[in-house]
Each structure stands twice: as structure tokens, then as C-alpha cells.
Chains A and B, each alone.
Chain A
Amino acid sequence: EPEVTQTPSHQVTQMGQEVILRCVPISNHLYFYWYRQILGQKVEFLVSFYNNEISEKSEIFDDQFSVERPDGSNFTLKIRSTKLEDSAMYFCASTEGGWDQPQHFGDGTRLSIL
């Protein structure tokens, strides 16, 4: 069964540095999402992306964050000037036809900011 893949599985970065988290959605999916889960807390929506642009974003997704689909397969989340509180698990998901379809999640990238 096709999978959403995320790399790296674990990223350790110094505070203030930029990180790029990578996701390869399922190939025929058109809608892409990023979520984060701070350790011990609930999952939070960050952003959705369709047709090469952001369709929705949460209040968490401020100017520190950006998303991009640099080629036909990758979907990236960039976090600039990382802070300690950015430490979390970041999940990518994709759907074939939009929000009201089952979401396929990657295994997540654990981001640790030192």
C-alpha cells in the first residue's frame, strides 16, 4: 500500500538555526498537510496545501514557518530561527481529494531544538 514518507526521522538542531522537514506524499494525492505534536500534548494543525499554495493555516503557522513543493514529489516544511518550543513531532499527511477524505499520515519527524 502506498505510504507517506518523512525524512529525517529525528532532527537535532541548535536554537536559532533553520530546519527543513521533508515529506513525500502518496503520488496521486493532491492535498497536503502538516501537523505538530508537542511531547505529551495533542496534535495541532499547522497548514494545508493544494495546487501549489497554502489553502488554510492555523495561528501557529506564523512567519517563522513556510511550506513548499519544490518538485513533483517532495513537500517541505521550513522552520526559521528555531526556538526551544519548536521541539515536537511533526507529521505530514496527504489526501487524494481534500479535507473530507481519510488522511494518510507519515511516521513523523521528531525535532529536538537544543
Chain B
Amino acid sequence: KNEVEQSPQNLTAQEGEFITINCSYSVGISALHWLQQHPGGGIVSLFMLSSGKKKHGRLIATINIQEKHSSLHITASHPRDSAVYICAVRSNNNDMRFGAGTRLTVKP
């Protein structure tokens, strides 16, 4: 079983839709990261959080430590949001564990 599970694996949405990507983890963590990987392969850090909720523009990330679950929300989705979204956790074993990613396609 993967220690970091993301769902869905693939997601197709129409422009303007509200998007939710989920991440569940089974290890103790000190922080959780949401990353965006562009079609060309480059990776951008979106959020790093250890509790509560963070918002940046149209992106919102939440984490529930007790339930070991985090969500990434995109409001008013746009075709430029099309990318792979990766959840990664900083485990208490002092390493970084990555989910397999959610491939998001937003159609105009």
C-alpha cells in the first residue's frame, strides 16, 4: 500500500468548474506539500502546510491532521490549470514521500 494516496488519478473538467483533489497518508508527518508539475516536467511548490487551511489566488489547500487527509481545491478552473498535482509529505522518519499525482485537464 502506498503511504501517500491521491484521488482521483485523472480528472477532466470544464473551464469554470470547481476542482477538488484529495490526498490521504498513512505515516506521521510534520508537513504536507502540494506541488504542480507542468507538462514539460517542471515542478512548482503551491503550498506547504502542517495544519488548517491556506489560500493563494484561486487555490485553497486544507489539511486534517487527525484524519490524515488533505485536499487541494481550484475555484473557477482554467485550461492553464491543466497539470499534474502532486501531494508530498515530510514524514517523521525524516524523508519526503510522494503521491503518484493527479492529472488534471481543464477543457475550454
Contact = CB atoms under 8 A, between A and B. Distances in A.
B18 to A, nearest CB: 25
Interface string B87-108: 0101000111111110000000
Which of A91, A99, A104 gathers most chain B CB within 10 Å?
Answer: A99
Interface residues of B, number: 24
Interface residues of A, number: 24
A56 B95 contact: yes
Which secondary structure characterizes the binding site on chain B? strand
A45 B97 contact: yes
B57 interface: no
Contacts of B31: 99-100
Interface of A: 33, 35, 37, 41-45, 55-56, 58, 89, 91, 93, 99-105, 107-108, 110
Interface of B: 30-31, 33, 35, 40-45, 47-48, 50, 86, 88, 90, 94-101
16 contacts: A35-B96, A42-B86, A42-B100, A43-B86, A45-B98, A55-B94, A56-B95, A99-B31, A99-B90, A100-B48, A103-B35, A103-B48, A105-B45, A108-B41, A108-B42, A108-B43
